[in-house]
Chain A
C-alpha cells in the first residue's frame, strides 16, 4: 500500500497570501494513500527540509509530494532531502501551486480548490513512481571554443592552462577579433594590439590548444560530457605546412582593391591576403570571389611568387570531427553600418563613418597610419561630430537596448581626435552619459574638462551634405533647448552593437536559445550568467549582450572555470528521465515490432537497433533500443510508437493517465 506524505509550502506570502495552505493540507490528508499532510511557511528552508526527512522516517513514507514552487526552482532541493531520509529521490514530486496557481490567480476559494486539485494529481502520480537511478556518462575532457576574439582567446587560455585540451575555432583567417581592430582602449588609453597580440601568440604556441582558423562549426551533436563537433576547415588555397608567411604572394597579387575586412572597408586588400601584419597564424588565404585565377582561369602570379610552392588553387574544404565534453560560444558581435540610418543618408556620405571605422583611422596600424583623415578626400577634419546612441535605445529602429560601450568609446574617440588634431573642434551629441565602471566617469570628465570636447545633450535629426560639408542638424535639450546646426567635416556614429548576422543560425544549429534581439540567452540572468540552458554549453563575450573588454574577459574566465569544474570529474550523472523500449522474457522478448518509426522521429538520434539473439547466436528479432546517454527524454518516440512499446521513465503513460483521471 502507498504511504504518501504531502508537504504544503506557503512560500512566505507568495502562496500563503492567495491560497489557504492549511486547507490544502487538510484536504490532502483525506486523499486515499496519504498518511501524512502538513503545511509550513518555508518548506525549502532547513527546518522545512527536516520536516520532510523526519516524516519519511517516522511514517515510513513510500512517496513525497511537495506542493510549492516550480520544480525548476526546488525539485533538486526536495529530492536531495528525500534521498537523505533514505527514500529514492525519484519518489519525490512537486505540485506547482505557485507559478501555476497563486501567482496567476486572485485569492479565493476557487484558487485554493485548484491548489488541492494540483496536489491530488501529483499524489496519484507519485503512487505510480518507480525508484530510478541516475545515469552516468563519461566526460571527454576536451573543450571546443567557438570564436577567436578576446573572449574566445581568454577562455581557451584559461582552460588550456588548467591542463585540458582546447580546440579553438575562428572563422576569419586570423584570431584577434574586433579587439585587434581597436586603436587604444578606455579608460587607460593603452594600445589594444600591444595587450592583445601577445595573447594571440600564446594561443598559437600553447601545447594544449589546437587552432582552426578560417573554419566554422558545421554541426554539433551529443550532450554534456560527450559532444561530437564537425568543423569545416574552409579551403585556404595555401598549404599551411609549407607556407612560411613570407608574404611574397600577397605582394604580387594584382587584385588589391577588395574592401579590407580588418580596416572596416576603409582600404583595399589583395585577393590573397593576411588580414593584418600581426595575424595568427601569419599565413595567407585566397579570397576565391576576388581571385582572378578562380574567376577567369588565368593569373597564377601568387603561385609563381611562392618559393615554397605552397599555393593550392584546387584545395577543398575539409570536415574535421572532434569529440569534446564542453563548448564555449564566444562568437562576438557586429556593428550596424552607416547604411542603417535613413536620416544620416543611408550610407551615401563617405565622411560619415562608424565607431569601428574611426578606430581604424585612429590606429597606428590603420589605413592612414593613425592620422585622422576623412575618407572622401583624405583631409584632416577640422570639425568633427560624434553621435552617441546611433540606433541604440531606439525602438523605432528595432533596437531598444543600450549598446553599453558607446559612451566610453565616444569619449575616447573625441579625446584621441583632440590629441591628434589640436586645433580641431569635437562635438558629441548624447542622450545620457552612462559611464559606470572603474575610472570610467573620470575618463569622460577628462574628455570634457581637459580636452575640451563639447558635449551636447540632444539627438541629431538629420545630416546632409552641402558644399563639401556635412550639415549636422540636432538639438541642445539643456537650458534654452535650441536647435543646433554644425557644419562638420566628418561624423562618427556610435552605431548600435548587434549580434553577428548568422548568430541565429548558429544557435539553431547548436540548439541553444537566443533572445528577441538575437543575442544568446544565458541560463539565468543573474545567477548563471555564463551557462546556456543546454547543459555543457557556455557563453562568453558580446554574443550574449553588449559588453566591453574587461567584462568580456571576466565572463570568458567564468566560462572557463565552469568548463574546468565539469572536467574535474571523469563521469557525470544525468537524470534518468529517458525513454525505454520494453523487454520481456522469451518467447515475447519485446512488444516492439521493429517498425523503427521512432528512429526517424527522434530529434537526438538516440534510437538504435538491437538484435536479440539466442544462445547459438541466431538473430531472433531486431528491436529498437534507446541510447540512454543521448536520449533527452522528450517523449516524441513514446507518442509515435504504434505498439505502445516505449515509455518514458518518470513520466510513464500509466502515470500521466493517473494524473488526468485524478482531475
Chain B
C-alpha cells in the first residue's frame, strides 16, 4: 500500500523519533511512505491565527502537490499539521469560490482528491496486521492520550467518539497492551501556551499525568508531537507544579507498535526521550529498551 507522507517541521526536529518509528514500522506493516515533493509549512504555528487566506493557502499547496503526485491518501503524523490540512480540504471542498481563490494564490490546481490521514486512522485500519505480526506482545498498562487535535473540530476528527475515543486503545490492544480506563484522554495538555505561558502548560499537563499514573498506567501513549513535548520535555516543570515525581514514560503509538513488532528500541528512537523509557522489573513483559 503506497501512501503519501507529509512529515512537517516537528518530525524533522523535536519529534524525530516519531518519524523514525513510523518509517521503521511502515515496512513490516506493508506500507510504503512516499514523501510529498517540495512540501512546505502547514501554517499551524501562526498563520491560521493571522490570515485566513494564508492559513488555507499553505496547506493547500502541499495538498495540491500530493494530488499532482497521484497520491490518494496522505499520512500526516503531526496532529497540528493534520488539522490544518484536513480543515483546509474540508473548507475548500465546501466552498467553490474559496477553492478558486486559493488555487490562484498557490498557482496549482487543487480538486481535493487526496484524503488526509492521521496516524491513528491508519493504524486502526492496520490493527489486524498488527495483531498478526506482533512478536513481543506489549505487556504494559497504557494510558492512551488523544489530546485535542485528534478529536476536534468534529468535522475532521479522526476519532469517532470524540468525547471518549477508543481507536488508539484498540491499536494498543492489538499490540498486546492493556489500555487503562482514564478520564483525561481528550483533555488539553496546554500546547497552545507552550511558549507564551509555560506555567499553564505545567498545571494542565500535571493533571493529565496524575490521572494516568493514579489509574495504574505504566506509560502514556500519544500520537501528537505537541502532547509528547509537553509531557516529556516539560516533565521537570510538571513535577514542580504537581509537587510529586513521575517516572512514567511517554511513547508515540508508532513506538509501541514497533516494540511489539520486535524492532530495536534504538531504531524507534526511544533513546531520544527525556524521560527514560524503562519499566520496573516486576512488571510482566518488561524489557530494557536501552
Contacts and interface: CB of A to CB of B under 8 A. Distances in A.
A345 B163 CA distance: 9
A396 B154 contact: yes
A342 B162 contact: yes
A342 B164 contact: yes
B124 to A, nearest CB: 18
Contacts of A464: 183, 211
Contacts of A343: 163-164
A466 interface: yes
Contacts of A435: none
Interface in A457-475: 462, 464-466, 471
B contact patch SS = loop
A346 interface: yes
Interface in B153-174: 154, 161-164
A342 B183 contact: no
Nearest to A341: B163
B164 A346 contact: yes
Nearest to B163: A342
A465 B182 CA distance: 9
Interface string A330-362: 000000000000110110100000000000000
A575 B16 CA distance: 79
A346 B181 CA distance: 12
B183 A466 contact: yes
Interface in A392-449: 396
A464 B181 CA distance: 10
Nearest to A471: B183
A346 B161 CA distance: 10
A471 B182 CA distance: 13
Nearest to A465: B183
Nearest to B165: A342
Contacts of B183: 462, 464-466, 471
A465 B184 CA distance: 11
A342 B154 contact: no
Contacts of B214: 466
Contacts of B154: 396
Interface in B180-194: 181, 183, 187
Contacts of A396: 154
Nearest to A396: B154
Nearest to A344: B163
A207 B154 CA distance: 58
A345 B162 CA distance: 12
Interface string B185-216: 00100000000000000000000000100100
A438 to B, nearest CB: 39
Contacts of A466: 183, 211, 214
A487 to B, nearest CB: 13
A466 B214 CA distance: 9
Contacts of A471: 183
Interface in A463-510: 464-466, 471
Contacts of B164: 342-343, 345-346
B168 to A, nearest CB: 15
Contacts of A345: 164
A396 B154 CA distance: 9
Contacts of B161: 342, 346
Interface in B116-155: 154
Interface string B42-53: 000000000000
Contacts of B181: 348
Most B CB atoms within 10 A — which of A342, A346, A348, A396?
A: A342
A485 to B, nearest CB: 11
Contacts of B163: 342-343, 462
Contacts of A348: 181
A462 B164 CA distance: 10
A346 B183 CA distance: 12
A348 B182 CA distance: 12
Interface in A529-556: none
A458 B214 CA distance: 29
Contacts of B187: 462
Interface in B246-269: none
B51 to A, nearest CB: 28
A343 B152 CA distance: 14
Contacts of B211: 464, 466
B157 to A, nearest CB: 11
Contacts of A465: 183
A466 B163 CA distance: 18
Nearest to A345: B164
A244 to B, nearest CB: 51
Nearest to A462: B183
A312 B181 CA distance: 48
Nearest to B181: A348
Interface string A81-105: 0000000000000000000000000
A628 B154 CA distance: 54
Interface in B86-123: none
A165 to B, nearest CB: 51
Nearest to B184: A464
A169 to B, nearest CB: 39
A372 B214 CA distance: 31
A343 B163 CA distance: 5
Nearest to B210: A466
A58 to B, nearest CB: 59
Given A342-B163, A462-B187, 8 more contacts: A342-B161, A342-B162, A346-B164, A462-B163, A462-B183, A464-B183, A466-B214, A471-B183
16 contacts: A342-B161, A342-B162, A342-B163, A342-B164, A345-B164, A346-B161, A346-B164, A348-B181, A462-B163, A462-B183, A462-B187, A465-B183, A466-B183, A466-B211, A466-B214, A471-B183
Interface of B: 154, 161-164, 181, 183, 187, 211, 214
Leading 3 A-B pairs by shortest Cβ distance: A464-B183, A342-B163, A342-B164
